[in-house]
């Protein structure tokens, strides 16, 4: 049953997911998300069409469009910010498809966090073509569609769900890579990959894909989309923090201001129900 407040352990789980998504930026990641886990995890009791739709939306729609855009049409940094518009798309789809009611404080929280995201985009200083921005927005819409598809599957084993859905992500992504890069470039990159590259692929497959999307789907199946999806706006904040810690990147005032707006909006979204119960008078019977 959906709840309007998040238990502390569920908050920590969501924070773990966005931290992983924010500390790393596609065909191989979904290949190793499916194999060898599929030999150990039974396919969840959902229709094949549901798994296929999720796999195509997340694998091809989200990541395929992102990588095409980042090839020459938009900088990776700006793309990682713009794709977080999925939070707003997810809430909109939930209102449309599930008749989910979004409360005024949730709209205010989204607006506050969205202002922080817009502030980051304005000050990012990266160039982007209109086509690049359009592709990344479509990637965000595909991510939101994947969220709603996973939610429609119910409270199934989400780890097994992501594993089996990856079966439908890898083949079209390989085809897309060959079409765009050419077979010599794809085969050469695989042949020349060193231990560092394979470690990165393992991180993308296990941490980002299996844990991240399984945990995210698990949370969306149990809570309103307006409570969960805005937490993904923390991804750029964690990304900035990781860059500062690992790469020594500076944190100017505009970055800190944007982070404060995002964190303020998310704090309002998560904490307002408990604060309202504590401080506001109960409605008259």
Q: How many CB atoms lie within 10 A of CB 134?
A: 16
Among candidates 216, 84, 76, 60, which has minimal Cα distance to 150? 216
- pLDDT tens digits for range 235-274: 777 777 776 776 676 778 887 888 788 878 877 877 777 7
| pLDDT at residue 186, as a whole number | 67
**What's the CA gap between 34 and 41, in Å, rounded?**
10
pLDDT at residue 164 greater than cutoff 50: yes
Percent of the chain with pLDDT over 70: 76
Question: Which pair of tokens denotes residue 222?
Answer: 């149990």
Which region among 12-26, 77-91, 264-278 has the lowest average model confidence (pLDDT)? 12-26
Question: Within a 13 Å sphere around the CA of 285, how many CA atoms are in the beta-carbon half?
Answer: 0
Task: Tokens for 173, please give them.
Answer: 């992504």
Are 59 and 174 spatial neighbours (Cβ–Cβ below 8 Å)? no
pLDDT of 161 higher than 60: yes
Least confident of 8-17, 67-76, 141-150, 261-270: 8-17
The residue with tokens 């979004």 is 102
Please determine, for residue 80, whether its predicted confidence score (pLDDT) is greater than 80.
no
Long-range contacts of 97-103 (CB under 8 A, 24+ apart): 97/148, 98/148, 98/151, 98/225, 100/224, 100/225, 100/226, 102/226, 103/4, 103/226
Q: Where are the domains of the chain?
A: 8-275
The whole-angstrom separation of Cα 22 and Cα 94 is 24
Q: How many CB atoms lie within 10 A of CB 170?
A: 22
The Cα 163–Cα 179 span in angstroms is: 25
Q: Confidence band (pLDDT; 50, 70, 90) for 148?
A: very high
More confident position, 142 or 252: 142
Question: Band of the pLDDT at 71, cuts 50, 70, 90?
Answer: confident
Average predicted confidence (pLDDT) for the chain: 77
| Residue 198: predicted pLDDT | 65
**Residue 281 banded pLDDT, cuts 50, 70, 90:** low
């Amino acid at each position: 049953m959906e709840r309007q407040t998040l238990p502390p352990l569920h908050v920590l789980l969501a924070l773990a997911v966005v931290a992983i998504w924010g500390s790393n930026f596609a065909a191989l990641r979904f290949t190793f998300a499916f194999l060898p886990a599929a030999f150990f995890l039974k396919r969840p009791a959902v229709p094949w069409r549901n798994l296929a739709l999720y796999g195509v939306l997340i694998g091809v729609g989200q990541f395929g469009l992102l990588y095409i855009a980042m090839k020459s049409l938009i900088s990776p940094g700006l793309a990682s910010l713009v794709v977080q518009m999925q939070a707003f798309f997810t809430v909109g789809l939930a209102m449309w498809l599930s008749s989910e009611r979004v409360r005024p404080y949730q709209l205010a929280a989204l607006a506050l966090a969205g202002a922080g995201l817009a502030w980051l985009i304005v000050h990012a200083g990266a160039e982007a073509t209109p086509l690049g921005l359009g592709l990344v927005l479509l990637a965000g819409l595909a991510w939101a569609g994947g969220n709603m598809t996973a939610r429609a599957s119910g409270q199934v084993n989400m780890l097994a769900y992501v594993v089996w859905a990856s079966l439908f992500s890898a083949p079209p992504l390989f085809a897309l890579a060959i079409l765009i890069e050419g077979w010599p470039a794809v085969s050469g990159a695989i042949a020349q990959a060193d231990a560092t590259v394979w470690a990165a692929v393992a991180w993308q497959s296990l941490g980002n894909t299996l844990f991240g999307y399984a945990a995210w789907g698990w949370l969306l199946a149990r809570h309103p989309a307006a409570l969960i999806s805005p937490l993904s706006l923390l991804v750029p904040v964690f990304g900035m923090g990781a860059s500062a810690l690992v790469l020594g990147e500076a944190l100017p005032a505009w970055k800190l201001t944007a982070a404060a707006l995002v964190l303020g909006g998310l704090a309002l979204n998560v904490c307002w129900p408990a604060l309202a119960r504590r401080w506001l008078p109960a409605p008259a019977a």
